[in-house]
């Protein structure tokens, strides 16, 4: 049995994750250990068929969880064989590879299903000859943890070294008589009470994204929760038909948009505390002292490479005008900012509300 475990580790080429690192890794490892419990009392070899999504295909998320499950199987000293299911899909409720390849009497596989903010792993142990279900087990985990793990693994690839490029729409609107009109949102601009802001963006490559607002009174508001985002898909903050409304007057707001590998994560709360301290001590007063806030953000991002904060509008290229259509029937025209940054893109924009 030990030889089978060792052979499996060599076949994986070192893809099994290190257990016991970040909190998200510990959570994923604990879920994997619980799931493989359905085969710990079984004797003989088990063929591993892997995870698939509900459409029957492998995704970056299923690949990450496959590694954790294989690691848990090895730690439990379960004799595992690998069945080649490359390119094969689920067929109805049948496990991929149940009829193809493999020699073990039992086959183990599962599905990964998302239901925000959770992901559910449903594991099935099936008798190969009859197709009879022997055991099943379900565990849930935070989708955020899985996506963070996917993003973290990009740090070991060449793609993580590439600049982050984004088409970013910063949209502000003002309503009068039920009709919305676009208003300028630029560095130093003055908005009115009741004006609303939304952002839309699309990345050139997969990356973590986070966007939030800081007010001169010390308040914080999230536009886009820190999460892993796939490239070439339009994303919205706070939502496709949702807006941030400015009800407080005599305030200066700074909007931060971050994209890249490993953003604030566990450093978010310390950064917010530092922001509150700067406001409380009077080091940030409306438009004064914003460079200190930029510098604090860069320090909490904790990247050895220098990170530039994109402020102002003079050096930012704009895309072609686009028309945004909303559920309430309003349409607004917007031009995307074409932004590039490495290793992390940081866009900052400060404006007042009077």
pLDDT at 235: 94
Residue 148: which residues within 8 A CB-CB, separation 6 or more?
A: 22, 24, 208, 228, 265
Q: Taking the model in full, what pTM does it have?
A: 0.61
> Comparing C-alpha atoms, which of 72, 84, 76, 119 is closest to residue 228?
119
- The dihedral region occupied by 329, where left means phi > 0, alpha psi between -120 and 50, and beta the remainder, is left
pLDDT at 102: 65
Share of the chain above pLDDT 90, in %: 45
Residue 11 clears pLDDT 60, i.e. is over it = no
- The dihedral region occupied by 188, where left means phi > 0, alpha psi between -120 and 50, and beta the remainder, is left
**pLDDT band with cut points at 50, 70 and 90 for residue 105:** confident
Pairing of strands 118-127, 106-115: antiparallel
Average pLDDT over residues 218-223: 94
Share of the chain above pLDDT 70, in %: 83
Mean pLDDT, the chain, rounded, equals: 83
Residue 75 clears pLDDT 50, i.e. is over it = yes
| Comparison of pLDDT for 225 and 80, the residue scoring more | 225
**pLDDT band with cut points at 50, 70 and 90 for residue 97:** low
**pLDDT band with cut points at 50, 70 and 90 for residue 187:** very high
Beta-carbon neighbour count of residue 240 at 10 Å? 13
* Structural domains of the chain, ranges and CATH numbers in brackets: 2-149 (3.40.50), 161-353 (no CATH)
Distances (CA, A) of 344 to 153, 210, 262, 339: 16, 11, 9, 11
Q: 């935070």: which residue's tokens? A: 142
What does the block give as tokens for 137?
Answer: 């087990």
Residue-wise over 167-188: b if at least 16 C-beta within 10 A, else e? bbbbbbbeeeeeebeebebeee
**pLDDT band with cut points at 50, 70 and 90 for residue 241:** very high
Q: What is the pLDDT of residues 16-42, one digit of tens each?
A: 443 333 566 778 888 888 888 888 766
Q: What is the pLDDT of residues 303-347, one digit of tens each?
A: 878 899 999 876 899 999 999 999 999 999 999 999 999 889 999
On whether the CB atoms of residues 274 and 296 are closer than 8 A, the answer is yes
pLDDT at 127: 85
Distances (CA, A) of 224 to 166, 177, 228, 242, 262: 15, 29, 11, 12, 15
**pLDDT band with cut points at 50, 70 and 90 for residue 206:** confident
Q: What is the pLDDT of residues 111-139, one digit of tens each?
A: 999 988 899 999 988 887 787 888 899 99
Residue 5 clears pLDDT 60, i.e. is over it = no
**pLDDT band with cut points at 50, 70 and 90 for residue 9:** very low
**pLDDT band with cut points at 50, 70 and 90 for residue 300:** very high
- Angle subtended by helix axes 23-35 and 60-75, to nearest 10: 70
pLDDT at 57: 80
Residue 3 host element (H or E): helix 2-11
pLDDT at 165: 93
Residue 2 clears pLDDT 60, i.e. is over it = no
| Most confident region among 52-56, 139-143, 206-210, 329-333 by mean pLDDT | 329-333
Q: List alpha helices for 257-347, DSSP H.
A: 268-280, 290-301
pLDDT at 43: 67
Distances (CA, A) of 212 to 8, 54, 74, 223, 290: 45, 33, 42, 5, 15
């Amino acid at each position: 049995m030990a030889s089978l475990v060792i052979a499996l580790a060599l076949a994986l080429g070192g893809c099994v994750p290190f257990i016991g690192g970040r909190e998200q890794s510990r959570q994923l490892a604990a879920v994997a250990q619980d799931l493989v419990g359905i085969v710990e009392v079984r004797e003989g070899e088990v063929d591993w068929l892997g995870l698939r999504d509900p459409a029957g295909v492998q995704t970056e998320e299923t690949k990450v969880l496959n590694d954790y499950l294989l690691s848990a199987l090895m730690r439990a000293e379960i004799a595992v064989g690998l069945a080649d299911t490359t390119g094969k899909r689920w067929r109805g409720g049948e496990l991929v590879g149940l009829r193809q390849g493999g020699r073990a009497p039992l086959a183990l596989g599962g599905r990964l299903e998302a239901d925000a903010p959770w992901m559910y792993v449903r594991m099935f142990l099936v008798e190969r000859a009859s197709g009879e279900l022997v055991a099943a087990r379900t565990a849930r985990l935070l989708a955020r943890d899985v996506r963070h793990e996917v993003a973290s693994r990009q740090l070991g690839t060449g793609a993580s070294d590439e600049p982050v490029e984004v088409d970013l729409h910063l949209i502000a609107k003002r309503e009068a008589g039920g009709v919305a009109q676009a208003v300028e949102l630029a560095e130093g601009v003055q908005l009115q009470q009741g004006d609303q802001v939304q952002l839309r963006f699309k990345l050139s490559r997969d990356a973590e994204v986070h966007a939030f607002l800081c007010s001169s009174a010390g308040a914080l508001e999230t536009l886009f929760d820190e999460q892993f985002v796939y490239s070439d898909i339009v994303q919205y903050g706070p939502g496709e038909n949702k807006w941030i409304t400015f009800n407080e007057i005599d305030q200066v707001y700074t909007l931060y948009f971050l994209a890249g590998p490993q953003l604030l994560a566990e450093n978010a709360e310390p950064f917010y505390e530092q922001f509150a301290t700067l406001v409380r001590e009077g080091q940030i007063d409306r438009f004064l002292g914003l460079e200190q806030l930029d510098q604090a953000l860069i320090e909490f991002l904790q990247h050895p490479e220098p990170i530039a904060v994109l402020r102002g509008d003079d050096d930012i290229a704009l895309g072609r005008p686009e028309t945004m259509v909303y559920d309430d029937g309003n349409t607004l025209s917007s031009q995307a900012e074409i932004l590039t940054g490495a290793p992390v893109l940081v866009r900052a924009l400060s404006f007042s509300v009077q």
